[in-house]
Amino acid sequence: MMIQTIKTTPYSDQKPGTSGLRKRVTVFKQPHYIENFLQAIFDSLDGIAGQTLVIGGDGRYYNDVVIQTAIRMAAANGFGKVMVGQNGLLSTPAASHVIRHYKAFGGLVLSASHNPGGPDGDFGIKYNIGKGGPAPEAITEAVYERSKVIERYKTIDAPDVALQQIGTQMSGDMVVEVIDPVTDYAALMETLFDFEAIAKLFASGFTMTFDAMNAITGPYAHAILEDRLGAPKGTVKNGTPLPDFGKGHPDPNLVYCKDMFDLLMTPEGPDFGAASDGDGDRNLIIGKNRFVTPSDSLALLAANAHLAPGYRDGIVGIARSMPTSAAADRVAEKLGIEMHETPTGWKFFGNLLDAGRVTICGEESAGTGSDHVREKDGLWAVLLWLNIIAVRQQSVDQIVREHWASYGRNYYTRHDYEEVDAAIAGTLVDDLRAQLPGLVGQNFGEDLQVAYADDFKYHDPVDGSTSAKQGIRIGFTDGSRIVLRLSGTGTVGATLRLYLERYEAADGRHDLDTQVALGPLIALSERLAGIQQRTGRDEPSVIT
Ligand code: VG1
Ligand code: CO
């Protein structure tokens, strides 16, 4: 095997964000851009010689090219084996499982998740560690530092691997095993959930629609929901991964899944609707006449997990990202288990999961998962919901209402202002941060008194590391919160995320319109931060 050492010059913008490096495809297509970043990753890892690397992606445009590059570079850098999903496909949770299951050294997940794809869309590269989860900040920082000084990368002169062909091939001296992307993941799901009970539910006439959004979950959903659980053919929509996601935006929210939402609100609609994102780690859950906010979904899944075989003995703890509503905290309190609040991004859950301190984790951004892998997992959440419905024999709406009646309801919304001017967004956040010390104790309106106002700083209880500046939070004495942070996954300008929450007790009013219930907080946040006034926008780009 002839290793080639190619000279290169560094790029200054290869800093991984909330979830890996995400940029426009046009940026990734610059000379040596991908090679530089991959080499920076390999240079930041110790002991890769002879080890196994897992590679897979969400099938978006440019996946095929990057996978071939990554395979050649893995060989040149001394990996002994690469395991890659057939046709380069692996959902993010499946990649996490494959890394763990085959005890690989780590993996490359090629995806920009919910961002649009295609030649004018986005691409992304993320490195996951041997425990299966996204690389912690210590590694992503090292990769960034390395990328700024890189002078050469290593590759080999070898033909492309036949990615459609299951089985073993060689790339130089390195073994390449092309695996079925679904088999291992589906087997894992079967160990966690009562497939028989869910199959019975479908056989009894329960109807569902699943939108794979022309992205990665299509093959998984066809295999699990239709082939194994017997949901009628056609249950899975948009089930073939397309490089441009059919020109869609594979973000399962109420904007891009509006048609499904509307259908679920009609009497003719199915009993249950769900969707997942580009790389299969997010979930959207809608019951007939009941949209379930991701924060509520986390709380509900945690409260009912014991109904599924994989969690029969109960859960040991829950973790949620800071902006996620406190609904899950009430469940943890009742169960008498640990509750953790982490910064945004799944990488912060890894230590807690590895240490056995939490079983279920979730983010308000439609991400839920458990200790079965080290990523959020869209289909897992759908299957847990189905398992719970099958056991409780109730509708989603009934289950949600009963939950609120015993725990109270956390009204919750997120307002995104996308692609705003980065300088304006930066100043806005700085100005609000400067106001924080003076806010504590102030009263706004009748019942809003500020209890605390800070920039969230996380102390990892497992490895002792600290992550500062993770989002501004203004908490009120009645449990209401305003949270503001800048997105770390956007690729153009800046995206401001405003998160609003208000608690209504178990015997309170649970049937208010969310935007109305949060009206006073929305108005106050504009008064304090002035997002609309400063950006010139009249409304958020997306409300969830
Ligand atoms: C967003 C979400 C965050 C999620 C991240 C990756 O990050 O808010 O909760 O973990 O996307 O999700 P940000 O920095 O844009 O707010 V995914 O589905 O891209 O892997
Ligand atoms: Co995703």
Cα 195 to Cα 108, 354, 379, 414, 425, distances in angstroms: 31, 27, 13, 34, 48
Please, which pLDDT band fits residue 485 given cuts at 50, 70 and 90? Answer: very high
Instruction: Give the position, in ligand 1's atom list, of the atom nearest the Cα of 375.
Output: 20
- The SS3 call for residue 368 is strand
330-336: long-range contacts, CB 8 A cutoff, minimum separation 24: 330/299, 330/407, 330/408, 331/299, 331/302, 331/303, 331/407, 332/302, 334/303, 334/407, 335/302, 335/303
Counted residue by residue, the chain has a size of 544
Q: What is the pLDDT at residue 5?
A: 97
Q: Work out the average pLDDT over 451-463.
A: 95
Tens-digit pLDDT profile for residues 153-201: 999 999 999 999 999 999 999 999 999 999 999 999 999 999 999 999 9
Residue 159's contacts (CB-CB under 8 Å, 6 or more residues apart) are none
Whether 282 lines ligand 1, by a CB cut-off of 6 Å, is: yes
104 is written with which tokens?
A: 């690989």
- CA–CA dist 342, 321 (Å, integer): 5
Q: Is 349 in contact with 358 (CB distance < 8 Å)?
A: yes
Pairing of the two strands 272-275 and 208-211: parallel
Q: What is the pTM of this model?
A: 0.94
Q: What is the pLDDT at residue 18?
A: 83
- CA–CA dist 45, 129 (Å, integer): 10
Closest CA to 126 of 253, 23, 30: 23
Q: Which ligand approaches the C-alpha of residue 124 most closely?
A: 1
Determine which residue's CA is closest to atom 1 belonging to ligand 1.
489
Is the model's pLDDT at 445 over the cut of 90? no
- What is the residue-averaged pLDDT of the chain? 95
Determine which residue's CA is closest to atom 10 belonging to ligand 1.
345
Min mean pLDDT across 111-120, 354-363, 378-387 is at 111-120
Q: Is 249 in contact with 60 (CB distance < 8 Å)?
A: no
Does residue 113 have an active-site annotation?
yes
Cα 77–Cα 83–Cα 86 angle in degrees, nearest 5: 130
Distance from Cα 241 to the centre of ligand 1, integer Å: 21
Tens-digit pLDDT profile for residues 508-534: 999 999 999 999 999 999 999 999 999
What is the crossing angle of helices 422-439 and 519-529, to 10°?
110
Q: Rounded to the nearest 5°, which phi and psi values hold at 407?
A: -110, -15
399 is written with which tokens?
A: 């289950």
Tens-digit pLDDT profile for residues 229-282: 999 999 999 999 999 999 889 999 988 999 999 999 999 999 999 999 999 999
Whether 348 lines ligand 1, by a CB cut-off of 6 Å, is: no
Q: Is 10 in contact with 153 (CB distance < 8 Å)?
A: no
- CA–CA dist 501, 230 (Å, integer): 39
433 is written with which tokens?
A: 């941060």
- The SS3 call for residue 229 is coil
Q: What is the pLDDT at residue 406?
A: 96
Q: What is the pLDDT at residue 493?
A: 85
Determine which residue's CA is closest to atom 4 belonging to ligand 1.
345
Tens-digit pLDDT profile for residues 344-379: 999 999 999 999 999 999 999 999 999 999 999 999
Distance from Cα 202 to the centre of ligand 2, integer Å: 28
Element (H, E) at 466: strand 466-467
- What is the residue whose two structure tokens read 């992503």? 140
Please, which pLDDT band fits residue 209 given cuts at 50, 70 and 90? Answer: very high
Please, which pLDDT band fits residue 13 given cuts at 50, 70 and 90? Answer: very high
Please, which pLDDT band fits residue 491 given cuts at 50, 70 and 90? Answer: confident
- CA–CA dist 69, 44 (Å, integer): 18
- CA–CA dist 207, 226 (Å, integer): 12
Cα 175 to Cα 63, 96, 163, 321, distances in angstroms: 20, 20, 13, 39
Q: Determine the straight-line distance between the first and last CA of the chain, rounded to whole angstroms.
A: 52
Determine which residue's CA is closest to atom 20 belonging to ligand 1.
113
- The SS3 call for residue 95 is helix
Q: Work out the average pLDDT over 195-221.
A: 97
Q: What is the pLDDT at residue 488?
A: 83
Q: Work out the average pLDDT over 408-430.
A: 94
Closest CA to 11 of 143, 156, 155: 143
9 is written with which tokens?
A: 């010059």
| Residue 87 neighbours by CB distance under 10 Å | 19
Pairing of the two strands 81-89 and 106-110: unpaired
β-partners of residue 70 are none
- What is the residue whose two structure tokens read 């405003």? 498
Tens-digit pLDDT profile for residues 391-406: 999 999 999 999 999 9
Q: What is the pLDDT at residue 178?
A: 98
Cα 112–Cα 57–Cα 215 angle in degrees, nearest 5: 70
Q: Is 429 in contact with 469 (CB distance < 8 Å)?
A: no
Is the model's pLDDT at 19 over the cut of 90? no
Q: Work out the average pLDDT over 86-102.
A: 97
Is the model's pLDDT at 91 over the cut of 90? yes
Whether 363 lines ligand 1, by a CB cut-off of 6 Å, is: yes
Distance from Cα 122 to the centre of ligand 1, integer Å: 14
Listed in order, strand segments (DSSP E) in 81-230 are: 81-89, 106-110, 122-129, 152-156, 167-171, 174-179, 208-211
Q: Which of 19, 96, 111, 113 is catalytic?
A: 113
Cα 234–Cα 283–Cα 322 angle in degrees, nearest 5: 175
- CA–CA dist 481, 501 (Å, integer): 5
- What is the residue whose two structure tokens read 């910064």? 343
Listed in order, strand segments (DSSP E) in 338-433 are: 338-342, 360-363, 367-370, 409-420
Q: Which ligand approaches the C-alpha of residue 471 most closely?
A: 1
Element (H, E) at 396: helix 396-407
- CA–CA dist 195, 182 (Å, integer): 16
Q: What is the pLDDT at residue 17?
A: 87
Please, which pLDDT band fits residue 70 given cuts at 50, 70 and 90? Answer: very high
- CA–CA dist 95, 102 (Å, integer): 11
Q: Which ligand approaches the C-alpha of residue 216 most closely?
A: 2
